[in-house]
A = this chain, B = another copy of it.
Amino acid sequence: MSGNTYGKLFTVTSFGESHGPAIGCIVDGCPPGMELSEADLQDDLDRRKPGTSRHTTQRRESDEVQILSGVFEGKTTGVPIALLINNTDQRSKDYSNIMDQFRPGHADYTYYKKYGLRDYRGGGRSSARETAMRVAAGGIAKKYLRERYGIEIKGYLSQLGPIKIESVDWNEIANNPFFSPDASKVPEMEAYMDALRKEGESIGAKITTVATGVPPGLGEPIFDRLDAEIAHSMMSINASKGVEIGAGFDSITQKGTEHRDEIMIDGFDGNSAGGTLGGISSGQDIVVHTAFKPTSSIRLPGKSVNIKGEPIEVVTKGRHDPCVGIRATPICEAQLAMTLMDHVLRHRAQNLDVKTDFADIPASNK
């Protein structure tokens, strides 16, 4: 209720600050009997991990996750799975100077107003460090969805500042530090990021996340539509400023004949809907775009005030991502996995006995 729990049936409750002893979470609601070990979660954690290329923050965290409960003899037991990651590379001294500053574009001022005090070291609870737990928890959901339902969730960087991806080769994403699905754009991205770093600037990005193999019927009517909950999920990631499903904002200028995905014998003739109709999955791919703002942690001085109301100039010297969107790819995947997992469980609760006597409309995903 106080905001640190995601989900209704598959719930993830997280804790931890950037410079506390550890971050962690409790995953409740995972079905019993699934094989699970730390190794299953480590891959995605490593994809998100800072310090793996010169284009992300140089903070070095091993981000090794421990499973403290809920797994016995290699299998989930159905009781809460607690995950823990120790914080190892904390340099709290980096942050003492911001103790009484309100950095522009940060949560400093708003946390102070909400709580009256805050752990200012490294952004405390508002640091993107907490997203590591989302990736770990989402890894459990991803594994279950894949093994039980054949649902695959994957993401890529679809835009880096002005550089737009034009073709998607899923096999390329792991081959470059940008999660770019288009190898031909990588040199341009590298040059852009190098220039940006020299300049002391940061830049926004767009991440596209796709779930394939989603059966029709997931999602709830009215307020808990699948797309509404996906929007919530994605917008809960630090620095996200917008979410689209399918055609998204392009729908504004589309006409009815253009937007509606007609249904042919061999399947839907398009996916403007992005995989949901009336808030419920159609069997088409779920396609989500998320906009990330440029980080405000840059070394170019910015104007602000301190807690005394005096004008100050803020220069961020810490180790920060010039484009937070880059490492957001595995986080978006994790969030989408958590959302779908929750809806799979919700669907089973109420709609277990539903049988339809007509075939599914094929997911053509043109």
Contact = CB atoms under 8 A, between A and B. Distances in A.
Nearest to A27: B15
A312 B82 CA distance: 35
A349 interface: yes
Contact of A236 (B205, B228, B347): B228
Contacts of A297: 256
A55 interface: no
A230 B221 CA distance: 18
Given A2-B29, A221-B4, A235-B227, A246 B256 contact: no
Interface in A215-229: 215-225, 227-229
A1 interface: yes
Contacts of A115: 32-33, 77-79, 351, 354
Nearest to A360: B113
B220 A3 contact: yes
Size bracket, chain A contacts: 35 or more
Contact of A254 (B11, B66, B77, B204): B204
B291 A244 contact: yes
A249 B257 contact: no
Interface stretch (A41-49, A181-189, A279-287): A279-287
Given A105-B259, A109-B216, A116-B354, 10 more contacts: A2-B80, A3-B28, A5-B13, A13-B13, A14-B222, A115-B354, A225-B235, A228-B236, A231-B232, A254-B293
